Amino acid sequence: MFRTLKTVILALGVGAALAVAGIQPAQAAPAAAAQITLNPAQGPAGTSVTVSGSGFKASTTGTVIAGSTTFSFQTTASGAFSTGITIPAIAPGNLTITAKTSSIKASATFAVAATPAPQPPVVSTDPFRFGVATPGGPLAAAELDEVSQLAGESPSMVLFYKDFLQAPPIAELNAVRARGAVPLLTWEPWAWGGGLEQPAYSLDRITAGDFDARILEWGQALTAWGQPVMLRFAHEMNGNWYPWAEGVNGNQAGDYVQAWRHVHDVVASTGASNVQWVWSPNVPYWGSTDLAGLYPGAGYVDIVALDGYNWGTSAAWSSWVSPQDLFAPGIAQLRGIAPGKPILIAETASSEAGGSKATWNTDLVSYLAAQPDVMGFVWFHFQKETDWRINSSASSASALSSALLARRS
């Protein structure tokens, strides 16, 4: 009744016969599942990522899909690949990255991070300093960021203005300090909008102590703040357009020096050793008040300064003037009046009308940086009587940035 094994094998086939005999046939190993890895697996849009995969169809082309963007790759004889991709512009969150060859595919998740805000350039450590004034003042961060990008460096001085009616500007001082800069605080002894004739703010009333409560408040606040601040009191006093000038608003010769010394002494009485006093006339011009009679004295001034603009042909009375012609006469006078004091150009800018503003910007930095006692300049970045802004033209902005870079090199 029993047939031989050979007969069974012939009748049932090899597999069945082995089963009858209690012998299990060897099973083929299952194919490995396709998979991919990402390196790195997180970052902002624009990140370069290496996608590596295995288990795909061998020796063929495939595609990596990242959002709406695709990248091709070629697999090896073992079905592996490695290719570079760039994360497309996409909102922060998880992005599925998929690789596929014909019917084989695998996915991994890339965590798209928020793109960090661009950081403004740093403040230069060059001893010849760059500063700026903008319409919004220290709290207008976007304006100061724009200037930093235009100039290729963040300003080390930020100029802004307050009148006698305003409280000490601690928020503005903090904002300047947070940017790594020093405040250049222009303090104007008048009420904004009140015009040239303001008898309540005549120089003799300041000297008489009528504003001592406000001056003391400022001194105490600056002392408590404790950080370096340049206090530019009653600037451009040699002109005739502010009520603290001699010859207007009832002011007499000698009144300016007396008022300055009084304000200085009241602030100093609070212990404000962090305050540097900046005496800042306009560049001398025909008919301006002589500087010698307006200088309060070496013990009352830490920095002497000049304000000067190249109006070009933007006004009926003006003409183009080079930086050297604009500032050299005044700098020479300051050296004679206040020998050894550092000199600051506290306000300057150029019009586009009547010449090359780009060349003027280059010459300004070159001329001033060559003066060993000139500590820097402050650009008046306003569109006001004319377009004084750094970027009134692309060539103007490029020239100033290049000039500042050259002086850092």
Instruction: List, as one string, the DSSP characters of 17-61.
Output: HHHHTT-PPPPPPPPPPPEEEEES-EEETT-EEEEEEESSPTT-E
Whether residue 319 is predicted with pLDDT greater than 60 in this model: the reply is yes
Whether residue 350 is predicted with pLDDT greater than 90 in this model: the reply is yes
> What pLDDT band is residue 24 in, cutting at 50, 70 and 90?
low
What is the pLDDT averaged over residues 165-194? 97
> What pLDDT band is residue 116 in, cutting at 50, 70 and 90?
confident
**Whole-number Å distance between alpha carbons of 232 and 230:** 6
Which amino acid makes up residue 96? Answer: T
Whether residue 329 is predicted with pLDDT greater than 70 in this model: the reply is yes
What is the pLDDT averaged over residues 351-360? 98
Q: Cα–chain-centroid distance for residue 7? A: 94
- What dihedral do alpha carbons 4, 8, 9, 14 form, nearest 10°? -130
What is the pLDDT averaged over residues 190-199? 97
What is the pLDDT averaged over residues 296-312? 98
pTM metric for this prediction: 0.75
Whether residue 33 is predicted with pLDDT greater than 80 in this model: the reply is yes
* In the block, residue with structure tokens 């497309």: 88
- Residues 405 and 150: beta-carbon distance below 8 Å: no
Own/partner pairs, 54-62, CB within 8 angstroms, 24+ separation: 54/78, 54/79, 54/80, 55/31, 55/79, 55/104, 55/106, 56/80, 56/81, 56/99, 56/100, 56/101, 56/104, 56/106, 57/101, 57/102, 57/104, 60/101, 60/102, 61/101, 62/99, 62/100, 62/101
| Exposed e or buried b per residue across 299-314, where buried means at least 16 C-beta atoms within 10 angstroms of its C-beta | ebbebbbbbbbbbbeb
Helices (H), 152-199: 170-178
> What pLDDT band is residue 119 in, cutting at 50, 70 and 90?
confident
Burial of residue 374 (number of CB atoms within 10 Å: 0-12, 13-18, 19+): buried
What is the pLDDT averaged over residues 128-150? 97
So what's the pLDDT on residue 31? 57
At 210-252, the pLDDT tens digits run: 999 999 999 999 999 999 999 999 999 999 999 999 999 999 9
So what's the pLDDT on residue 279? 99
At 36-80, the pLDDT tens digits run: 999 999 999 999 999 999 999 999 999 999 999 999 999 999 999
So what's the pLDDT on residue 4? 43
Which amino acid makes up residue 143? Answer: E
Whether residue 127 is predicted with pLDDT greater than 60 in this model: the reply is yes
Tell me the β-bridge partners of 54: 35
Report which of 112, 117, 121, 148 is spatially closest to residue 132, judged by C-alpha positions. 148
Percent of all residues in the chain with a pLDDT value above 90, rounded to a whole number: 89
- Both tokens of residue 291? 């500087």
